[in-house]
Amino acid sequence: MKTNIKHFLFLVFLFSVFGVDGAVGTPASPTDILRPTLQGMIDAIRDPALAGAEKKEERRRKIMEIASRGFDFTEMSRRVLGRTWQKISQEEREQFTQLFIKLLENTYVGKLEGYSGQEIIYKDERIKGKKAAVLTLVKHDGAAPFPVSYVMLNNGKGWQVYDLNIEGVSFLRNYRDQFKSILRKNKFAGLVKVLEEKNASFITGTGAAQ
């Protein structure tokens, strides 16, 4: 509620400074916002200076830094934890957010890397109130292109991605059910442990084998 008032005040401020025309004039579309983020990530994946397994850490750091401009990781973490987010402390929230970002890196970025050298095609965009969805296709030689939709939210700070829909499966919804099942049995500490183990599996190669 408090943040809503803040956003409202911020909007009032914007309107008073730039006038109605300035604020409504030519708002950047969700696709306009998404495109440089994804292109930056793809460029980093393609960058020969960052290629190879030994450069993985450096490459991933670069990719995730670019991603953080277009993705709202805190919003994602809040939504994926649901009710539990309210119950845990600020430190635990930060700890969880870091683990969840790492999971996103291992799964989504890992998947994108598998399609490196390919292009992203922007197929469609829809806006509904504060939400928008952008459909992209990741083209790949010799295989069917895989569709990724980005669900974005405009919380006053511009459009930011808060959910990915890969081949029809919502990233947040899928992980939320898994987290819920783990939380019920093993509480927050158990979830942290499982997340750490999963992330580690991508380093040791049991998960990263492709």
Partner 1 sequence: MKRYLSCFILFVLLFMASGCAEKNSNTAIGEVPSAVERSGDELDMLLDDDFLDDELSAEQDYYDPLEPMNRVFFEFNDKLYYWVLNPLNKVYSAVLPQDVRFSVGNFINNFAAPVRLINTLLQLKLNDAGAVLARFVINSTLGVYGFGDVAWRELGIKPREGDFGQTLGYWGVGEGVYLCLPVIGPSNIRDTVGFVTDSYSHPMVFFVDDFLVSAGYYSLERVNVLSLNPDAYEDLKKYSLDPYVSMRQVYLDYRRKKFDHNN
DSSP state of 72: -
Determine, following the binding rule CB under 8 A, whether residue 182 of this chain makes contact with partner 1: yes
Determine, following the binding rule CB under 8 A, whether residue 1 of this chain makes contact with partner 1: no
Please work out the total of residues on this chain that contact partner 1, with binding judged by CB under 8 A. Answer: 49
Return d(Cα 193, Cα 102) in angstroms, integer.
14
Residue 81's φ and ψ, nearest 5 degrees, are: -85, -20
Determine, following the binding rule CB under 8 A, whether residue 14 of this chain makes contact with partner 1: no
**130-149 exposure pattern, b = at least 16 Cβ within 10 A, e = fewer:** eebbbbbbbeeeeeebbebb
Segment lying near partner 1 (by CB under 8 A), choices 35-43, 48-56, 62-70, 117-125: 117-125
Nearest approach, Cβ of 61 to partner 1 (angstroms)? 21
Please identify which residue in 95, 125, 155, 192 interacts with partner 1, judged by CB under 8 A. Answer: 125
Segment lying near partner 1 (by CB under 8 A), choices 2-10, 19-27, 59-67, 133-141: 133-141
Return d(Cα 127, Cα 101) in angstroms, integer.
26
Nearest approach, Cβ of 116 to partner 1 (angstroms)? 16
97-116 positions binding partner 1, by CB under 8 A: 106-107, 111
Segments in the chain forming alpha helices (H) = 2-24, 30-46, 56-70, 73-81, 84-87, 90-104, 110-114, 171-204
**What residues have CB less than 8 Å from 27, skipping those under 6 apart?**
none
Orientation angle between helical segments 56-70 and 30-46, nearest 10 degrees = 170
Determine, following the binding rule CB under 8 A, whether residue 86 of this chain makes contact with partner 1: yes
Determine, following the binding rule CB under 8 A, whether residue 31 of this chain makes contact with partner 1: no
**Contact positions vs partner 1 (CB under 8 A):** 78-79, 81-83, 85-86, 106-107, 111, 123-126, 128, 131-135, 137, 142-145, 147, 149, 151, 163, 165, 167-170, 172-182, 194-195, 198, 207
